[in-house]
Structure 1
Amino acid sequence: MSGDRTALVFEGQGGDAAGIPAALDRDCPVCGEVLDEADAALGFPLSKVVFEGTPDELRQTAVAQPVLVTIGVAHARHLLSLGVLPAYLAGHSIGQYAALVIADAVDFADAVRLAARRGELMQAAVPDGVGAMVAVSGIELSEVLDACQEPRHLGVVGVACDNAPGRTVVSGTSAAVEAVVTACQDEGAVTVELPVSAPFHCELLTDAKNAFATALGDVTFRTPAISVVDNVTARPLRAGDDIPSLLSEHIVARVRFRESLELVAASGVVGEIVTCGPGHSLLKMIGKTAPGVRAVSFDRYMQERAPSSGGGH
């Protein structure tokens, strides 16, 4: 597949934290360089957390978010070093920060610091047990949105992620989310609670959104050199778009991932999507949303290249 028919899509939080240490090769020069940059930017050894942290530590939002950005950037830089020239970039939630780095819209050091601050604010915004996130599959977005209307007297609740046809995530106050889950199950949905430390992408994180806007104000952003499909608008970021404002809104807004993939697939210039980051949670979303586009994980892509590129990453 030629490079200009490739899109890179970056994993977000919520996957299997136990798989994070295997996502980077200690001996890969590109990976080592990115880890060193992350350690220097953050002022503590994130690399040690990646390889030695427990799954519980790696699931903590304040840790997981800079780790995911670091792994995503390392994978993408390795692909670029092999001659992959992506036509589109997109990320799922925190994955968008890695996309912005690869598009040269923000420096990696700034992005990883922002990811750490974002994670701290989101993790601290809601006390343990107050909120929840639940994946809902088997019914369409419109049905889940309808189910979210009834229990609002119990607290905040809404669709946090529109991941693929028939695959959404509900987020909010625990009691309200539980009521929505029951209503969705009555319609035949299958539901799974997500192992995250805060209810992302809902109004409970308004204070985090407002505080994060201050951190964003200290960072320089540039027009992306490669098309980045924004989570909030589900369209490519353009010159003149207020990226800090969108990233601030991103904390409470729905992740419009299905629409983003549909845009990439409809462009007519992408025949292959490579997912960057730990795990494979995005592959099923891509398969359901854009079945005409080949989707492959970074690891599988590297295995396929091994005979001509000389091995691993």
Structure 2
Amino acid sequence: MSVLFTFPGQGGQRTGMLHALPDAPEVARTLSEAHAALGRDPLTLDSEAALRSTVSVQLCLLIAGVAMARVLIARNARPDMVAGLSIGAWPAAVVANVLDFADAVRLVELRGQLMEAAYPSGFGMVAIVGLREAEVAAIVSRAHSPDAPAYVANLNAETQTVVAGADAALEQVRVQALASGASRACRLAMSVPSHCPLLDRQAAVLADAVKSVSLRLPRVTYVSGSHARVLFRADTIGHDLAWNMARQVHWHDAVRHAYERGARLSVEMPGGGVLTRLAHAGPEDSGALSVDTERIDSIVAHIQRNARQ
């Protein structure tokens, strides 16, 4: 039986998430390394005011994800696979030893800066629950226009889809989705239109920056949330990391692929437990835990018990 570590994307951040990390040597080391890479204290990133910035949000998710994974690994609770949704792919790649944490910090800071500068306002994302992909795609097609674009961005579950685009188009999508029977349609806590062609130029800039760092073969299985399959080559994973901001997320298929490869326990890193709730709602749910809702010793016991089966 295999253990999958999952790393959430933007939207699950919360005030004080770095301060809430456990008092452990692995956390202190991660914060120290982040401080050295950024040139400033990472504990200033998780205030309510700071988290209004895409840069701060993405750095917090990277730092918290790597720190918690290191805490578990130090307790002999190791993953066999890793997978991350959007920004979550970056801590997943660090844990898989594909790139150094310091390089990831600098590249994620650039990622957030590129996204924030391109769309400081007037854009975002809407999550729709209760409709299938084809139904949402039809609504998006009607709402989309050159002046107010909209795109299907995330396929998170069979009946949970996220749409990215301009505010005017997103409001049309939200209203039409509810009129079409959606149980929920709400704006996400992010101000950029991720996972669509609106970020192609920014992804290309980031891809050039990724070429400047050293990448290695993964030590554990890396499942791409964009491609919904395992990636084995270092350069392919680097391309995946750079371009995932502009590519559709196929999270539901990625989790299914991990299940087909033997994953029977998924453990979600901070923040918020969104991926754990998605796992419980899916047909492949055979065990999903969140570090935000479970004690560390309990998670360690689950992982070690799973490893013995």
TM-score, normalised by the number of residues in structure 1: 0.89
TM-superposed deviation, 1:241 = 5.2
Counting only pairs closer than 5 Å after superposition, residues 1-313 of structure 1 correspond to structure 2 as 5-18=2-15, 20-25=17-22, 27-46=23-42, 48-50=43-45, 53-128=46-121, 130-153=122-145, 154-189=147-182, 190-239=184-233, 242-267=236-261, 269-299=262-292, 300-304=294-298
Relative to structure 1, the CA distance from residue 41 to residue 5 in structure 2 (aligned partners, 3 Å threshold; closer, same or farther) is same
- 2: CA distance between counterparts of 1:305 and 1:104? 22
- 2: CA distance between counterparts of 1:221 and 1:103? 11
TM-superposed deviation, 1:83 = 1.1
Other structure's SS at 1:283 match: helix
Contact 1:133-1:194 at 8 Å conserved across structures: yes
TM-superposed deviation, 1:22 = 4.9
TM-superposed deviation, 1:238 = 1.5
Amino acid at match of 1:112: V
Which runs of at least 4 in structure 1 moved beyond 3 Å after TM superposition?
305-308
Contact 1:66-1:113 at 8 Å conserved across structures: no
Q: Residues 99-118 of structure 1: CA distance to partner in whole angstroms, max 9, x if unpaired?
A: 10111111111011111110
* Structure 1 stretch displaced more, 116-125 or 282-291: 282-291
Other structure's SS at 1:284 match: helix
TM-superposed deviation, 1:19 = 5.2
Relative to structure 1, the CA distance from residue 152 to residue 49 in structure 2 (aligned partners, 3 Å threshold; closer, same or farther) is same
TM-superposed deviation, 1:305 = 5.7
Other structure's SS at 2:135 match: helix
TM-superposed deviation, 1:222 = 1.6
Q: What value does the CA root-mean-square deviation take over the aligned residues?
A: 2.0
Other structure's SS at 1:94 match: helix
- 2: CA distance between counterparts of 1:39 and 1:164? 36
* Residue ranges of structure 2 left out of the alignment (5+ in a row): 303-309
Contact 1:158-1:172 at 8 Å conserved across structures: yes
* Structure 1 stretch displaced more, 242-251 or 119-128: 242-251
Pairs aligned (count): 299
Amino acid at match of 1:158: Y
Identical counterparts, % of pairs: 33
* Structure 1 stretch displaced more, 287-296 or 15-24: 15-24
TM-superposed deviation, 1:155 = 2.6
Contact 1:30-1:74 at 8 Å conserved across structures: yes
